[in-house]
Amino acid sequence: MSTAVTIRPALPEDAAAIANLHVAIWRETYRTLTTPEAFRTLDEAYRQVRWTATLSDPGRDQLVLLAEQNGRLVGIGAAGAPSLALFEGRGEIRSLYVDPAIKRQGVGRRLMRELALHLAALNYPGAALGVVVGNDPAIAFYQLLGGKMSERYTDPGPVWRSENIVFVWDDLSLLM
């Protein structure tokens, strides 16, 4: 029997735990999609610096949510102001990571719902995100949630240039 998952806003002191989960999930997801250099470089120390900065000085309209089960971090979601012009003024879902051990239990859907509610409260007309080409489970998940593929772009990234698909939701209620 699984224990309930709670969702709460992230705090600066959560940065190390977020970095650890982020790297574990990222490495599993991208092990065949990224370069060996990116795999080595984008480690816990690198991610902790980035998450500490994000949580200490959040960007405009930024929200980072954590999903926890039995006091253990099992999911991360982040949303805020769009970082790319091609998102056409829609709020951006910046991160969504769910521990593979609890996938298909509604955690990703719950995080997306809360992020969509946040974007709606800020009067964004919709949501958008970029997903790496080849990340088929994420692509299927976003399609299941009603996301529409709109275009592609190359993310220069800090170490690795990835080809990405933009997903958009012009009706945030699809996520709520």
Helix (H) or strand (E) holding 143: helix 136-144
119-138 pLDDT per residue, tens: 999 999 999 999 999 999 99
User: Hey, where are the domains in the chain?
Assistant: 5-174
> How large is the angle between the packed helices 15-30 and 44-56, nearest 10 degrees?
130
The radius of gyration of the chain from alpha carbons, rounded to an integer in Å, stands at 15
Residue 95's beta-bridge partner residues? 78
Please state whether the predicted TM-score (pTM) of the whole model is above 0.85. yes
Q: What is the pLDDT of residues 27-76, one digit of tens each?
A: 999 889 998 889 888 899 999 999 999 999 988 899 999 999 999 999 99
The per-residue pLDDT for range 3-30, each reduced to its tens digit, is 799 999 999 999 999 999 999 999 999 8
As a whole number of angstroms, the distance between CA 27 and CA 10 comes to 22
| CATH of segment(s) 5-174 | 3.40.630.30
SS3 168: strand
Q: Dump pLDDT digits (tens) for 141-159.
A: 999 999 999 999 999 888 8
* Token pair listed for 101: 């051990």
